[in-house]
Amino acid sequence: MNITGIVVEYNPFHNGHALHASESKKATNADLVVAVMSGNFLQRGEPALVSKWSRTQMALASGVDIVLELPYVFATQHAEIFAEGAVSILSAFGANSLCFGSEAGDIQQFLRLTSFINENETTYNSFLQEALKEGYSYPKALAMAFKRIENSEQILDLSEPNNILGYHYVKAIFKQESQMKPYTIQRTQAQYHDKTISSLGIASATSIRETLIKQGNTLEAVEHVVPAYTFNELQSYKKNYTSFQHWERLFPFLKYKVLTATIEHLGNIYEAEEGMENRLLDVIKEASSFQELMEKLKTKRYTWTRLQRFCLHTLTNTTKNDMKNLNLTCPYIRILGMNNTGREYVNHYKKKIDVPLISTISKLKHPFIEIEKRATTCYALGYDPIIQNKLMKEEYAHPPILV
């Protein structure tokens, strides 16, 4: 069976995602599309608009055959660890290929870049560390280091977010000696960081969230850029849960956590570096919203995303000790949902998968799962007690969604 893997967040699932899933299947001639999807918190350190279960429903209704969870310990990391975790899960699940969206849209550029950097690894790492010490963010330092070692026209633009992720997917495939072959599809129309929705049928997930949360528009404002099932699912979610989740709803709990913790404890939070905990403590005292906090925290050295992840780890009490022995290989595979084609594959091939394949987290004890439970508890904050209880129960007992 020819299986194509894709790595996704679906926050929320929109027309561009539907195009990516269908084009990935065509490009790789796949029998099955498997999505590794972040759970309730995402790579940029923010809560998902709707729960992992709601996003799984959207994906299965729009052409994805199986949805697997990318655990919190991988999902909320910088691009390199995020990619390694996702690639390890897809490899363990038996995927033959990985297809990602990129600004470049040409897989040869990624292959040449990976080979080029491997040949110049020592020099490249030296330049990367120099740029980081000068106070540049990781994405900027990455692009600067590459620009210094290239001796011809630029192979790939590493200032673009999806190109950066794509490079790390390809790098992880070679590093892990995975059986997967990489493919890429060019992103069309909307770009990753676009904050406004055009009249066209494709918009970025960022612009959809901005429209619904910061601009306070109704769902009808995004109806033309999401599949009908996504629109219906968003309507149903808002009705049942009263609101979409976002950082402003969680900000009071973050502020309480910071102001009641010792500076020593904050210094032990994962990704706390160079006195970042002192700066957070000073700034949060006067901040009246998460937006205000982030605007005051941001510096040249640390990107909004980097600081947002630190805030998230503070909220979920994820410490350096939790991540001390982080193994970047897949420890288990959790199925969030599947259709009939996906179910058939799982039934036939589950004995060939070398890691535990779980349907609910109550069936396995693992440090990653303990962190996942804490993360879900924090995700439920901001809702009334009945909804909180529902979200927390789902984490323990919700079986895979079957379509």
pLDDT (tens digit, 9 = 90+) per residue, 159-186? 788 999 999 999 999 999 999 999 999 9
Bridge pairing between strands 333-338 and 66-70:
antiparallel
The answer to whether residue 305 is domain-embedded is: yes
Given a cut of 70, the residues of the chain with pLDDT beneath it are 150-155, 189-200
The answer to whether residue 263 is domain-embedded is: yes
What pLDDT, on a 0 to 100 scale, did the predictor assign at position 149? 77
The answer to whether residue 299 is domain-embedded is: yes
The answer to whether residue 273 is domain-embedded is: yes
What pLDDT, on a 0 to 100 scale, did the predictor assign at position 397? 87
What pLDDT, on a 0 to 100 scale, did the predictor assign at position 192? 47
Task: Give SS3 for 55.
Answer: helix
Two structure tokens written together for 282 = 């000073």
At 85-131, the pLDDT tens digits run 999 999 999 999 999 999 999 999 999 888 888 888 888 889 888 88
Q: Which residues contact 402 (CB under 8 A, 6 or more apart)?
A: 337, 338, 339, 343
The answer to whether residue 86 is domain-embedded is: no
The answer to whether residue 389 is domain-embedded is: no
Two structure tokens written together for 340 = 């009939």
Q: Which residues contact 106 (CB under 8 A, 6 or more apart)?
A: 184, 186
Total of domains in the chain: 1
User: In which domain, by residue range, is 315 found?
Assistant: 247-320
The answer to whether residue 206 is domain-embedded is: no
> Which residue ranges are tagged as binding site for ATP?
7-20, 101, 162, 187
The pTM for the full model equals: 0.93
The answer to whether residue 259 is domain-embedded is: yes
> Which residue ranges are tagged as binding site?
7-20, 101, 162, 187
What pLDDT, on a 0 to 100 scale, did the predictor assign at position 302? 80
What pLDDT, on a 0 to 100 scale, did the predictor assign at position 154? 59
- If you search the block for the tokens 């979610």, which residue do you land on? 237
